[in-house]
Amino acid sequence: MTIDQGDAAPDFSLPASGGRTVSLAAMRGRPFLLYFYPKADTSGCTKEACAFQEALPQLGKLGLEVVGVSPDPMKPIEKFAAKYNLTFPLASDEGKAAAEAYGVWVEKSMYGRKYMGIERSSFLIDGTGKVARAWRKVKVEGHAAEVMAAAKTLN
């Protein structure tokens, strides 16, 4: 299942850092970025999260909220959020239901070994719950700026 631009965003409700819960229903009426990352506190995921944290003031001015999702349990997510002062919600998708619904739980391969994992992806979801933009196989470098440019076109 691949979710693309113009599709209705699949429903989700997940526990998140800071004792929060994030869900599509709770976000309805305001745009947000839902981004999936493979593992808390790894180099690429740290760079990506810190770039979004840094961009939060500008994204906030555009009315955009950010939600990160990984298959990690809450404990490492909370440690990751605290270590880097990440104020936006980082959600735990241990059952991988959200990752599967968004088509980002995929077969990957490293050194000839195949395994299932998160394909680093981001979804810009508008206030009506539709996917305004989808990025697959995200390259961390410059991604926050791409998101900001796309968010400016929402209003």
The residues annotated as belonging to the active site are: 45
Other beta carbons within 10 angstroms of residue 95's beta carbon come to 10
Burial 31-50 (b: 16+ CB within 10 A, else e): bbbbbbbbebeeeebbebbe
Q: Parallel, antiparallel, or unpaired for β 121-125 and 32-36?
A: antiparallel
Residue with tokens 């981004």: 35
The residues near 64 (Cβ < 8 Å, ≥ 6 apart) are: 31, 32, 33, 124, 147, 151, 154
Amino acid at 21: T
